[in-house]
């Protein structure tokens, strides 16, 4: 196992940057899919090492950021019910809904617990039989296996007061939505290493062939990302469009098959609305019919609703890679981590939060 310091070696990063500068001959647009990759790029100023011909575009790679306002409002509604104990990852607590966020509900007496694992929520359900424990299941394919296992464990243990409010999204359909858009300007992708560690990267091969776009599975440290960019740009310069794996120390083509089996058993593919983007067919996971009794939306008969985005927030354009965060008219002024208009300003993987934290702002 390699140490992190080896992948933050400034000399090695500069050597790769020199190779990139010597290889690039014309303009290219590359999108990194994962918000964790975005934070590394901004934190370590990797873009400043690239030639001016290379433009990095930040994609919708933050599941917290793309969770629709309607689901945030449903979580807030559930958290306000006296019989409900709502469990969530910490970065969901300050994501704004249409009027409030979960932290403000907690401040007024809502029983909301920040947990590190869905199994913590199953344990709380066992310890509090008088409560209905709801876990806010947000994430890409990366967290889906753990959420699936929580449901399977609850069923095995006979825990009936546990359910999921599901907001799972899938990466390949979102990439296809970007590539098929008439406004698309992306010529290459850095795919998210953590997603591929679960799902493998065979799903990306048809996309690369169909749209003739190179895709490189990359890790999250500076050296990972610079190597991934070099591999992607080399393909572009040579006119190739295949899927390559920079993150070989973690990812294999087939992925984690036991984890995939758990996902297939508990979840089914559904259409999913992405905040700021809209509905993408086949881009989400919902609980399969066999596990419908663990679906919080059905258990509490939560009605569908339509909520308008804030007219002052341009997070949707940021998530689609149409603008950079600092180009939003509200960035750093009307929108800040203390008073966010959109999820990308408060999520740990949000592009706006990365720019606010690591770059100058008004």
Encode pLDDT of 152-207 as tens digits: 999 999 999 999 999 999 999 999 999 999 989 999 999 999 999 999 999 999 99
Q: Residue 3: what pLDDT? A: 66
What mean pLDDT is reported for the chain?
94
Listed residue (135, 136, 137, 139) closest to 162, CA to CA: 135
User: Is it the case that residue 70 has pLDDT exceeding 80?
Assistant: yes
Please report, for the chain, the start and end positions of each structural domain, with discontinuous segments joined by +. 64-167+257-299
- Residue range 64-167+257-299, CATH number: 3.40.50.11740
**d(C-alpha 237, C-alpha 353), whole Å:** 33
3-state secondary structure 158-207: CCCCEEEEEEEECHHHHHHHHHHCCCCCCCEEEEEHHHHHHHCCCCHHHH
Q: 């990095």: which residue's tokens? A: 56
User: Is it the case that residue 85 has pLDDT exceeding 70?
Assistant: yes
Q: Residue 1: what pLDDT? A: 46
Question: CA geometry: angle at 203 spanning 16 and 224, to 5°?
Answer: 20
3-state secondary structure of 248: coil
Q: Note the pTM of the prediction, 2 decimals.
A: 0.92
Pairing of strands 215-218, 188-192: parallel
Q: Which of 184-193, 265-274, 316-325 has the lowest mean pLDDT?
A: 316-325
User: Is it the case that residue 80 has pLDDT exceeding 60?
Assistant: yes
Q: Residue 231: what pLDDT? A: 98
Sheet containing 84-88: give its strands across.
112-114, 84-88, 132-139, 162-169, 278-287, 267-274
Find out whether 337 and 361 touch, Cβ atoms under 8 Å: no
Pairing of strands 84-88, 132-139: parallel
The total of other beta-carbon atoms located within 10 Å of residue 322's CB is: 14
User: Is it the case that residue 336 has pLDDT exceeding 80?
Assistant: yes
What integer is the mean pLDDT of 57-82? 92
**d(C-alpha 61, C-alpha 82), whole Å:** 34
**d(C-alpha 341, C-alpha 362), whole Å:** 16
Taking the CA of residue 234 as centre, how many other CA atoms within 13 Å lie in the half-sphere pointing to its CB?
14
Encode pLDDT of 238-269 as tens digits: 999 999 999 999 999 999 999 999 999 999 99
Encode pLDDT of 226-241 as tens digits: 999 999 999 999 999 9
Encode pLDDT of 10-23 as tens digits: 999 999 999 999 99
């Amino acid at each position: 196992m390699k140490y992190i310091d080896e992948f933050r070696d400034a000399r090695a990063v500069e050597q790769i940057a020199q190779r990139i500068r010597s290889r690039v001959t014309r303009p290219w647009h590359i999108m990194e899919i994962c918000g964790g990759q975005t934070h590394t790029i901004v934190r370590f100023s990797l873009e400043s090492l690239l030639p001016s011909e290379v433009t990095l575009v930040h994609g919708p790679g933050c599941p917290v950021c793309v969770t629709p306002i309607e689901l945030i409002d449903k979580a807030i509604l559930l958290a306000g019910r006296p019989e409900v104990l709502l469990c969530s990852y910490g970065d969901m607590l300050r994501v704004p809904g249409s009027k409030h966020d979960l932290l403000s509900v907690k401040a007024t007496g809502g029983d909301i617990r920040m947990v590190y694992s869905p199994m913590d929520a199953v344990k709380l359900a066992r310890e509090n039989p008088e409560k209905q424990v709801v876990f806010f299941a947000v994430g890409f394919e990366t967290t889906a296996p753990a959420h699936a296992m929580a449901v399977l464990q609850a069923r095995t243990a006979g825990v009936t007061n546990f359910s999921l409010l599901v907001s799972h999204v899938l990466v390949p359909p979102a990439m296809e939505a970007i590539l098929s858009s008439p406004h698309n300007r992306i010529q290459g992708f850095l795919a998210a290493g953590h997603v591929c560690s679960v799902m493998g990267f065979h799903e990306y091969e048809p996309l690369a062939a169909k749209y003739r776009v190179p895709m490189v599975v990359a890790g999250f440290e500076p050296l990972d990302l610079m190597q991934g960019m070099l591999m992607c740009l080399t393909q572009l310069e040579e006119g190739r469009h295949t899927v390559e794996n920079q993150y070989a120390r973690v990812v294999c083509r087939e992925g984690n098959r036991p984890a995939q089996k758990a996902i297939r058993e508990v979840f089914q593919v559904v259409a999913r609305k992405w905040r700021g983007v809209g509905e993408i067919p086949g881009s989400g996971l919902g609980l399969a019919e066999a596990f419908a009794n663990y679906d919080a939306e059905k258990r509490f008969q939560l009605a569908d609703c339509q909520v308008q985005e804030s007219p002052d927030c341009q997070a949707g354009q940021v998530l689609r890679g149409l603008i950079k965060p600092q180009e939003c008219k509200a960035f750093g002024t009307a929108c800040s981590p203390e008073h966010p208009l959109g999820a990308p300003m408060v999520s740990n993987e949000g592009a706006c939060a990365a720019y606010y934290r690591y770059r100058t702002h008004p």
